[in-house]
Structure 1
Amino acid sequence: MGCDGGTIPKRHELVKGPKKVEKVDKNAELAAKWKHCALSQEKLRRPIVSCDMGRLYNKAAVLEYLLDKSAERPNTEVVVHIRGMKDVKELNLTDNPEWEGEGRNTKGDRYEDMHCSMFICPVVGLEMNGKHRFCYLQTCGCVFSDRALKEVKTDICHKCGDSFKEEDVVVLNGTKEEMEKLKERMDEKRAKAKTKKSKKTKVAETASKPSDLKEGPTQPSSDGKSLTENDAESSQTGGPSGSSIAPKGATASATKRSIQKMEEKSEVFKSLFTTHSSAKRTKDQTSNWVTHTPYHF
């Protein structure tokens, strides 16, 4: 049984076996992670930011997502944990001097190295292409390779000189296990921030409330009204000077003294007030009431 040309087909050409599982090229996968934004899938361009999970984003893409979360975008599950710009940190990256740009192989006559990266480690010089483990500091945003942090152990940033702790080191594009640890750390950090905010609000509420008067427990009076201890003592002793209690019919005006009757005051001082005799006028001296309108002036 042959074809028109006299060829005989083989068994593997007639019998189809199971389909082979397509394997993802590791070089392409690394290039997608380290050269493209995790949200918009566009090429990384400055300014570049990273979240607590260690993913890389274009700052413009994160801003667009936060301004309009209702818009339909792909890969939105990657940025669900980002609530605002405080949840991301702008990275302080070091340029690679050997990077010639994206248009270096437009003619197709040159070998294109997939592992060549735009950024390198400023201490060791390793390229940030996914082959080596890289980290960034949440305090200043500087990016280093894990080898540099292990070889040169210090609590001060190698690039800017700011101090940091081990908790401030975040792995970029880590494994699943590392991502889970970073997520647990992020949840603990946010829980502590909530407790601090609740404490601050409680302190602010207590400070904003008016200070309670320092009064003792109330005591019922004969009229059925409650009196404090201070009022009760003053009513019994007749005030601080020990004078007798004033009658109920007495008014507050009876206790006031007229300035004109004060002998210790001079006549010049008394003449400043309208109760002085010089300020009083007769009916002939007083004028009629006149109202001025805006058109008068």
Structure 2
Amino acid sequence: MGCDGGTIPKRHELVKGPKKVEKVDRDAEIAARWRHCALSQEKLRRPVVACELGRLYNKDAVIEYLLDKSAERPNTEVASHIRGIKDVKELNLTDNPAWEGDRMNTKGDRYEDVHCAMFICPVVGLEMNGKHKFCFLLTCGCVFSERALKEVKTEICHKCGDPFQDGDLVFLNGTKEEVEKLRERMGERRVKAKAAKKSKKNKGAETISKPVAVEETTADSAKASQNGEADSHSDPGPSGSSSPTKVTKLSAPPGSKRSIQQMEDKSEAYKSIFTSHSSAKRTKDQISNWVTHTPYHF
């Protein structure tokens, strides 16, 4: 029954039972979300961008995705809501002075602190490692912790000083409930932007059509005044004879050409400067035929 060494096999060595489900380290999973791009799964490097759902990406990975949206690319469902480069915001991050990166652990013989992050909060100094909630502003892209918002309540950005509202805050790597709320806000924001763009286009069309309507009304009024002027000359007075009436001359409508020789307010000396004056016109005797001279005639 035994082996050469006198050992006796036990039951768990002979009978194989069901495999145990491997448990994922919660800390390692959280650290991976804050250190790696959500689209390409590569390590985050500047420039870092974030979408309206609070996911972190490398900017070059987002550009490559927008240029090639084929189904063969892995993990494309994460960025399916990104339609263009305007749907992401470049983050204004603060570097962690204690971050050494991977350059000090090239051999793998040193302890690597999982909780040490590349970036920190510029107000409180908390590390952006997933243990604390962080948010960014859609207006300026500055990133700071939730504790900074609670301790220093203000309506301007803590880092750059730009004003913001509560709707401009987007929490990074939030829970499922927070992501659903951000998705609803994203839909409302896009609907408003679409409506504003449509109203702006309609206003532009109205401003173009208004000058055309003004020109038509001026032309109609000029015709009506001319008809009224003719009627005033033809109507007889109370004694049977036609009475002289004052005729008001209308100015030419804008955009119509008017000869300088017809302007009564201009002097005769001023009119004689132009070629349309009678003094500038020549008779048939003064007009000679054109003669073309070439070097061959000499």
1:99-248 alignment runs, 5 A limit: 99-209=99-209, 210-212=211-213, 235=227, 237-239=228-230, 242-244=232-234
Q: Determine what percentage of the aligned residue pairs are the same residue.
A: 66
- Check the 8 A contact 2:48/2:57 in 1, yes or no: yes
Which residue matches 1:253? none
CA deviation after TM superposition for structure 1 residue 203, in Å = 1.0
AA matched with 2:13: E
Q: Which one is further off, 116-125 or 205-214?
A: 205-214
Matched, 1:280 2:283: yes
| Cα distance change, pair 269–112 in 1 and its aligned pair in 2 (3 A) | closer
Q: Distance in 2 between matches of 1:269 and 1:230?
A: 30
CA deviation after TM superposition for structure 1 residue 229, in Å = 9.4
Which residue matches 1:30? 30
| Cα distance change, pair 278–212 in 1 and its aligned pair in 2 (3 A) | closer
Partner SS state of residue 191, structure 1: helix
CA deviation after TM superposition for structure 1 residue 129, in Å = 0.8
Contiguous gaps of at least 5 residues in structure 1: 217-227, 246-258
| Cα distance change, pair 129–244 in 1 and its aligned pair in 2 (3 A) | same
- Check the 8 A contact 1:118/1:128 in 2, yes or no: yes
Partner SS state of residue 102, structure 1: coil
| Cα distance change, pair 280–116 in 1 and its aligned pair in 2 (3 A) | same
| Cα distance change, pair 238–96 in 1 and its aligned pair in 2 (3 A) | closer
Which residue matches 1:97? 97
Partner SS state of residue 242, structure 1: helix
AA matched with 2:288: S
Among 264, 268, 272, the alignment partner of 1:269 is 272
CA deviation after TM superposition for structure 1 residue 29, in Å = 1.0
Which residue matches 2:49? 49
Partner SS state of residue 103, structure 2: helix
Query: CA offsets, 1:177-215, max 9 Å, x none?
Result: 111110010000001111111111111111122532598
CA deviation after TM superposition for structure 1 residue 234, in Å = 5.6
CA deviation after TM superposition for structure 1 residue 6, in Å = 2.9
- Check the 8 A contact 1:271/1:279 in 2, yes or no: no
Q: Distance in 1 between matches of 2:49 and 2:287?
A: 82
Which residue matches 2:86? 86
| Cα distance change, pair 273–32 in 1 and its aligned pair in 2 (3 A) | closer
AA matched with 1:280: T
Contiguous gaps of at least 5 residues in structure 2: 236-260
Q: Distance in 2 between matches of 1:198 and 1:14?
A: 74
Q: Distance in 2 between matches of 1:89 and 1:130?
A: 20
Partner SS state of residue 106, structure 1: coil
Q: Distance in 1 between matches of 2:274 and 2:154?
A: 82
Which residue matches 2:252? none
Q: Distance in 2 between matches of 1:160 and 1:29?
A: 32
What TM-score do you get using the length of structure 1 for normalisation?
Answer: 0.77
- Check the 8 A contact 1:38/1:56 in 2, yes or no: yes
AA matched with 1:107: K
Query: CA offsets, 1:228-278, max 9 Å, x none?
Result: 89867864x453x71239xxxxxxxxxxxxx7xx9x957x93995575597
| Cα distance change, pair 106–214 in 1 and its aligned pair in 2 (3 A) | closer
CA deviation after TM superposition for structure 1 residue 103, in Å = 1.4
Which residue matches 2:8? 8
CA deviation after TM superposition for structure 1 residue 36, in Å = 0.8
Q: Distance in 2 between matches of 1:270 and 1:133?
A: 82
Matched, 1:76 2:76: yes
AA matched with 2:95: D
- Check the 8 A contact 1:99/1:118 in 2, yes or no: yes
- Check the 8 A contact 1:215/1:230 in 2, yes or no: no
The alignment yields a C-alpha RMSD, in angstroms, of: 3.3
